[in-house]
Amino acid sequence: MLHNAEVEFARYLYAVYPPPMPWMPWLSVCIAPDGHVLDSEAFATFEEADLVTYRAQAVLFDSLVQQVEIKHALAADGALH
């Protein structure tokens, strides 16, 4: 089951972009497999952007694991009926 969540997780793109100008912020971005931007947030430092990106990845992965577990439970329940 974990493998399925890992495969799905790999389809998402997380990136931290540096400021194009010294006075501009760092940008953390999450892009869905279909190309839509799911989240984008500006930060004063790379460390802030990187930390929030890491936490967002953990939340997404946990969510995907839960989705896979629910699908497997429903499939197993359906097989019993």
pTM: 0.78
State pLDDT tens for residues 17-52: 999 999 999 999 999 999 999 999 999 999 999 999
Beta bridge mates, 39: 30
3-state DSSP assignment of residue 7: helix
What is the per-residue pLDDT for 4? 85
> Where are the chain's structural domains?
2-80
- Whether the per-residue pLDDT at 76 is higher than 90: the answer is no
